[in-house]
Amino acid sequence: MSGPKGMAVRVAIKQLKTNAVDEEKEEFLREMDIMKQVGRHPNIVTMYGLCEEPDFQCMVMEYVPFGDLKHYLQNLRKQAHLESLNITHRDLAARNILVGENKQLKISDFGMSRPGVYVKMSKGILANSLTSSEKSCQIAGVIPLRWLSPEAIRDNIYSTKSDVWAYGIVLWEIVTLGGFPYPTVCDKDMLQYLLDGNRLEKPISCSDEM
């Protein structure tokens, strides 16, 4: 890609796979729309352009050279820009925070994002009435259960407040150098575990002040 003064700029291409199902196509197009709203911000991966041809959809994204936060952990700056735009990310986790030039952190992966407060019109994630698509997503690890707030798990209600909850899990990931949240709790017990007042244990390396 040609940048300022004709200089070449390395970019990343995010492309919709050729065998994508309708739900995946809708999610990809929705992510495009969200990225248009987000615009440019120093702590969010930039979309430079996109292609919406019927047989080819892709986004031309800023290339972030140092991988995700899971492999290069440091403190996360606030996501106030997204909140000011009334956008709920819904999948804030260390794996979706990339490290760019000058070790600058950038929030990425807006495929699950929605404007404002989002209420998914089905029963809670752990309910027996999950659709086959939702069940396959859960099996595939798409639903970020261990980063979700109780109201998101139980009632499918997502907001900037549930993003703040997820941000707390990210901080725990940082302090534990990429630990797996609630390692002793199985998925089916997560909601009751949280409703009983349980939370993530304080890491050994974390001081009382922190």
Cβ distance 161 to 150 under 8 Å?
Answer: no
Residue 203 near residue 179 (C-beta atoms within 8 A): yes
Q: Which of 91, 109, 155, 208 is catalytic?
A: 91
The one-character DSSP state at 201 is P
DSSP letter, residue 200? P
Residue count (the chain): 210
Give the residue among 181, 174, 179, 178 at the shortest CA–CA distance from 149: 181
Shortest CA distance to 169 belongs to which of 160, 179, 159? 179
Q: How many other C-beta atoms lie within 10 A of the C-beta of residue 52?
A: 10
Measured CA to CA, the distance from residue 183 to residue 200 in angstroms comes to 9
- Annotated active-site residue 91? The verdict is yes
CB-side neighbour CA atoms (13 Å) of 5: 0
List active site positions. 91
